Amino acid sequence: MFEYLQKKLDKALHIFKGNSRINEINIAETLKDIRKALIDADVNYKIAKIFVQKVKEKSIGKKVLSSLNPKQLIIKIIYDELVSLMGKKNIEINISNNPTIILICGLQGSGKTSFSSKLSFFLKKKKKEPLLVAADIHRPAAIDQLKIIAEKDNLPVFFLKKSKNIIEIFDKSLIYASEKKCNVIIIDTAGRLAIDKIMMDEIQKIYQYSKPDETLFVVDSMTGQDAINTVQSFSKFLNIDGIVMTKLDGDSRGGAAITMSSIIGKPIKFISNGEKIENLEIFYPERIANRILGMGDIVSLVEKVQEQFDEEKTKKIYKKISKNRFDFEDLLEHIQQVKKIGSIKNIVSMIPGMEKIIDNKNKKKYSFKEIESIILSMTPYERNHPKILTDIKRKKRISNGSGISLKNIDLLLKQFSNISKIMKTIKDHSGKDIIKNFLSKIINK
Ligand SMILES: Nc1nc2c(ncn2[C@@H]2O[C@H](COP(=O)(O)OP(=O)(O)OP(=O)(O)O)[C@@H](O)[C@H]2O)c(=O)[nH]1
Ligand SMILES: [Mg+2]
């Protein structure tokens, strides 16, 4: 997710390493690279041009020129522009009515059925009582598909096996919802290959009849610019409230997700980044921008953490990060907690520096299990004092204990010291706000 842009932007900003200052020459080079990075990440070239123009205007100013830390300033300017390009704030779905009606539409295979179940799972965690309504009247297997996904997580589904009448299905689902005390009705509709008359007639019929509180259009982000065109054509016929972008896990470029809302004028409300039921995230422009700029996404992590971790442990992790005293004991705890909350790939991008440990330059990939066995082979003192691990005898003992080669132990230790450095930057600079946010979330609870 966004790895491509992340890498390229990082490279483009390298020129500002150390204490170099922003001037017409070095900024020109960087801006050229940023523009190229955006276009290669599938951002529309006009948008890329305007974006770079804005960054330029804000960078070559007196204030910036006199700054001691130009790289930080440029990152902040890019961050602000990215956030504003993505629509500034998340627009929440409106689920205040009882019942709330949510209509899900989109092209064939875009991920409507998967999203509907993920949304239901998500709402259940928010203490709502959702009901999934199988309203795909064209594909015979659609009902079973929804039932199989939903039943795994005990999510209620309403269906009428023999009905081809979408209005009848909706009417009966309302009665069922009221009997079962469900307060959110999620209507999973049929997809078509293209936005044609049959699809629009059917969607319009159910739209006018059900008067949804939320109409969400689901698009596959892997289709890139086509995803934007699809939403554009659809929204000519029907007023959508929000966009859901799916399969971001398979889209390393992410340009469509970044520019969608500014082109369409409608917010992205959710993104989906995997096939599992928990692979759904609320779309927060600030957090995505943080992730793209390689800060990691502590806030998203904390949200997940708070859902499933105990509060004491979360507080402890925060304290350690903020005091820059992150040690192997914490890393072990982190890994053990993280393992509980989903697939490694999704979590990794949320922890600053973690990507470097999992997928380092030397192409050595550690599994969480390997890292665990290395840490478990350390003495408690070593875990709390990573610096003493320069001692070869200690390293050999750890290598024997964990069954991991000495070379790979060395690599891990090196990467760990990188994490500590990253934690330090986060503490010292723009990470302050993230940490503040982190803190306020914990204290409010
Ligand atoms: N990797 C990945 N796969 C996804 C994601 N969302 C959906 N899929 C997969 O995409 C395929 C199509 O998803 P569905 O939810 O059936 O799509 P649909 O829009 O309901 O399809 P139709 O009902 O046939 O129009 C399935 O194999 C899903 O598992 C995602 O975020 N990431
Ligand atoms: Mg479907």
DSSP letters spanning 129-154: -EEEEEE--S-TTHHHHHHHHHHHTT
How much distance in Å is there from the Cα of 200 to the middle of ligand 1? 21
The atom number, within ligand 1, closest to the CA of 192 reads: 25
Domain 100-291 has CATH 3.40.50.11540: no
Mean pLDDT by 10 residues, the chain (445 residues): 83 68 77 92 92 87 50 78 91 93 95 96 94 91 92 93 92 96 96 79 93 96 91 90 94 89 94 93 91 61 53 62 70 65 50 51 63 89 89 94 91 75 54 41 35
Are 174 and 99 a contacting pair, CB within 8 Å? yes
Q: Which ligand is nearest to the CA of 218?
A: 1
The atom number, within ligand 1, closest to the CA of 246 reads: 31
Write the DSSP assignment of 68-95 as a string of letters.
Answer: S-HHHHHHHHHHHHHHHHTTSS------
Q: At what angle do helices 24-40 and 45-59 cross, to 10 degrees?
A: 150
- Cis check: omega of the bond before 99, within 30 degrees of 0: yes
| SS3 assignment, position 385 | coil
Q: Which ligand is nearest to the CA of 109?
A: 1
Which helix (H) or strand (E) segment is 383 a member of?
helix 380-384
> Given this model, what pLDDT does residue 43 score?
92
Token duo for residue 416: 């760990």
The atom number, within ligand 1, closest to the CA of 191 reads: 25
> Given this model, what pLDDT does residue 167 score?
95
> Given this model, what pLDDT does residue 443 score?
36
The C-alpha atoms of residue 6 and residue 19 are separated, in whole angstroms, by 22
> Given this model, what pLDDT does residue 338 score?
57
How much distance in Å is there from the Cα of 270 to the middle of ligand 1? 15
Q: Which ligand is nearest to the CA of 134?
A: 2
Of 190, 251, 218, 11, nearest in space to 115 by CA: 218
189 lines ligand 1 (CB under 6 A): no
Residue whose Cα lies nearest atom 7 of ligand 1: it is 111
Are 4 and 40 a contacting pair, CB within 8 Å? yes
The C-alpha atoms of residue 59 and residue 71 are separated, in whole angstroms, by 10
How much distance in Å is there from the Cα of 119 to the middle of ligand 2? 14
Of 86, 19, 34, 428, nearest in space to 290 by CA: 86
> Given this model, what pLDDT does residue 315 score?
62
Q: Is 341 exposed, middle or buried (0-12, 13-18, 19+ CB in 10 A)?
A: middle
Which helix (H) or strand (E) segment is 242 a member of?
strand 242-246
221 lines ligand 1 (CB under 6 A): no
220 lines ligand 1 (CB under 6 A): no
The C-alpha atoms of residue 259 and residue 225 are separated, in whole angstroms, by 9
How much distance in Å is there from the Cα of 113 to the middle of ligand 2? 4
What kind of fold does domain 3-85 have according to CATH? Four Helix Bundle (Hemerythrin (Met), subunit A) (1.20.120)
Which helix (H) or strand (E) segment is 102 a member of?
strand 100-106
Strand 280-282 relative to strand 268-272, pairing? antiparallel
For the chain, what are the domain ranges?
A: 3-85, 100-291, 295-444
Which CATH number, 1.10.490.10, 1.20.1070.10, 1.10.260.30, 3.30.420.40, labels domain 295-444?
A: 1.10.260.30
247 lines ligand 1 (CB under 6 A): yes
Which helix (H) or strand (E) segment is 215 a member of?
strand 214-220
> Given this model, what pLDDT does residue 436 score?
43
249 lines ligand 1 (CB under 6 A): yes
Residue whose Cα lies nearest atom 10 of ligand 1: it is 111
> Given this model, what pLDDT does residue 1 score?
76
The C-alpha atoms of residue 207 and residue 187 are separated, in whole angstroms, by 10
Residue whose Cα lies nearest atom 1 of ligand 1: it is 274
Task: Count CB atoms within 10 A of the CB of residue 232.
Answer: 15
The atom number, within ligand 1, closest to the CA of 273 reads: 31
Question: DSSP label at 359?
Answer: B
106 lines ligand 1 (CB under 6 A): yes
Question: DSSP label at 311?
Answer: H
Q: Which ligand is nearest to the CA of 105?
A: 1
How much distance in Å is there from the Cα of 112 to the middle of ligand 1? 7
The C-alpha atoms of residue 273 and residue 294 are separated, in whole angstroms, by 18
> What one-letter code names the amino acid at 11?
K
Give every CB contact of residue 87 below 8 A, 6+ residues apart in sequence: 261, 262, 267, 268, 285
Q: At what angle do helices 285-292 and 3-12 cross, to 10 degrees?
A: 60
The atom number, within ligand 1, closest to the CA of 145 reads: 16
- Which residues sit in the known binding site for GTP? 106-113, 188-192, 246-249
117 lines ligand 1 (CB under 6 A): no
> Given this model, what pLDDT does residue 77 score?
81
pTM of the predicted protein model: 0.71
Q: Is the dihedral of CA 257, 260, 262, 267 positive or negative?
A: negative
Token duo for residue 177: 């919802």
144 lines ligand 1 (CB under 6 A): no
| SS3 assignment, position 288 | helix
Q: Which ligand is nearest to the CA of 281?
A: 1
Hunting for tokens 């955006």 — which residue is that?
38
3-state percent helix, strand, coil for the chain, nearest multiple of 5: 60, 10, 30
